[in-house]
A = this chain, B = another copy of it.
Amino acid sequence: MILAVCLNPALDLTYEVPALAPGTSHRVQRVHERPGGKACNTARVLGRLSVEVTLCGFAGGARGARFRSALAATSVKDRLTVIDGETRQSVAVVDGGGVTVLNEPGPSLVQRDWDALLADVDSELDGARVAVLSGSVPPGAPEDAWAQLVRHCRRRGVPSVLDTAGPQLLAALDEQPAVAAPNHHEAGGALGTTLEEPDEILAAAVELSARSRGAVVVSAGSDGLVAARGERRWRVRPPRVVEGNPTGAGDALTAALAWGLAEERELPDILADAVCLAASAVVLPTAGEVDLATYRELRHTCEVEELR
């Protein structure tokens, strides 16, 4: 089983409108609803790959109930910790021109919420081969929330895949996650800089990897990814440019990393999977979904370049 931990899940709503015009009123033509948040999206991708997956995290209030009922319609096992706060919502307004996203901040946690989550995660780690630790942190969570969770995983011998940002990312790297997978904005943010050139992105991966003593994979959108572990470095580009909606591509990439670790495959093989699964998420409009035909087609010709 792969354990996904989503500290700030969201009930994701998609509103279809003909054209979003600021300052006016709109009749929403269609509403779609699904369980979201980064680790939850990753869990749904893993479910799509027929991997057994369990979701830990916080759920509360009427929206938490809706989140759980939407989650029950997927193959992801629900081990969410119930809190008094109300699960947040995100609204994605889709018109012909693009996607406009409004993310609520999330409920405020209290200490007993956090203690209950750690206990729930601990009980699930017994059966876990890999843990996915991904996404933002709600108000009131400890400043080292992800660091604590990486440490819990390491002590139980469960390799973790970490995807978060800012000070939470830096603190968690010190606890040695097996793989950290920030995108280039997040990697640059953690290092206090902006990464633009391929060499800068690679240097950031090397620097973060020296800190975590594990693999660091930095994604750069349609340019693919670079990775560093110990003395080795790799670059993987998608075999072709894929058009679509990049929302959720990072969550599919994380899913591939966790999947490969759980199957104990070699890192270069896992990296090729990661690029192709991310591209197969771009094809579909909603986060947490992947087009397996695109994945298979790209995977056939995807090459991993080891940098010397």
Contact = CB atoms under 8 A, between A and B. Distances in A.
Contacts of A24: 100-101
Contacts of A100: 20-26
Contact of A28 (B23, B97, B105): B105
A65 interface: yes
User: Size class of A's contact patch?
Assistant: 20 to 34
A28 B102 CA distance: 6
A307 interface: no
A155 interface: no
Nearest to A100: B22
A66 interface: yes
Contacts of A25: 100-101, 103
Nearest to A64: B62
A238 to B, nearest CB: 23
Nearest to A23: B98
A26 B23 CA distance: 16
A17 interface: yes
Contact of A91 (B61, B91, B98): B91
Interface string A66-97: 10000000000000000000000001010101
A300 interface: no
Interface of A: 15, 17, 20-29, 31, 61-63, 65-66, 91, 93, 95, 97-105
